[in-house]
């Protein structure tokens, strides 16, 4: 049986250049030169950005969960970056994570959290 090593969710975006700018502002290195597709990477997190002209951000249901070392620090960094979109308050959850979320301008949900107790 083959091992699965990582995952790269494909996020729909209306304007590939605007999405590249957004994710670069969030600290992702974005590569690729196809007009409608790019690869974003931050650490061991990979996201693919795919142009989708008919995307309606109000009905987009794309979502990704990022496990991070420090959810507070990431939220503070992203909020200070000036990136557009929406940011949510940070809170401790009953399931053991300190968690927040960001919705990018295309309606993609990036929820992120760090464990309250080391695992």
pLDDT one-digit tens code per residue, 2-30: 999 999 999 999 999 999 999 999 999 99
Q: Which CATH number belongs to the domain containing residue 22 in this structure?
A: 3.10.180.10
Q: Domain span at residue 49?
A: 10-54+61-115
What residue spans of 2-101 are helical by DSSP H? Answer: 16-25, 71-80
Q: Higher model confidence: residue 88 or residue 5?
A: 88
Domain tally, the chain? 1
Asked if residue 16 is part of any domain, the answer here is yes
Q: Are 83 and 26 in contact (CB under 8 A)?
A: yes
- Tokens 């590939």 correspond to 16
Give the model confidence (pLDDT) of 31-52 as tens digits: 998 889 999 999 999 999 999 9
Q: Which residues are CB-contacts of 115 (< 8 A; sequence separation ≥ 6)? A: 67, 96, 97, 98
Beta strand 29-34 with 91-92 is unpaired
Asked if residue 3 is part of any domain, the answer here is no
pTM of the model: 0.94
According to the model, what pLDDT value does residue 115 have? 97
Distance separating alpha carbons of residues 87 and 99, to the nearest angstrom: 12
CA distances 20 to 68, 80, 83, 87, 100, Å, are 22, 18, 11, 19, 22
According to the model, what pLDDT value does residue 2 have? 95
Q: Are 100 and 66 in contact (CB under 8 A)?
A: no
């Amino acid at each position: 049986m083959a091992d699965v090593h990582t995952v790269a969710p494909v996020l729909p975006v209306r304007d590939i250049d605007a999405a590249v700018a957004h994710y670069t502002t969030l600290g992702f290195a974005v590569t690729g030169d196809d007009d409608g597709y790019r690869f974003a990477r931050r650490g061991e997190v990979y996201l693919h950005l795919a142009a989708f002209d008919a995307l309606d951000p109000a009905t987009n249901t794309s979502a990704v969960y990022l496990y991070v070392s420090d959810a507070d620090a990431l939220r503070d960094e992203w909020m200070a970056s000036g990136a557009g979109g929406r940011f949510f308050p940070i809170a401790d959850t009953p399931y053991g994570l300190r968690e927040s979320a960001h919705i990018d301008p295309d309606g993609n949900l990036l929820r992120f959290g760090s464990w309250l107790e080391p695992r």
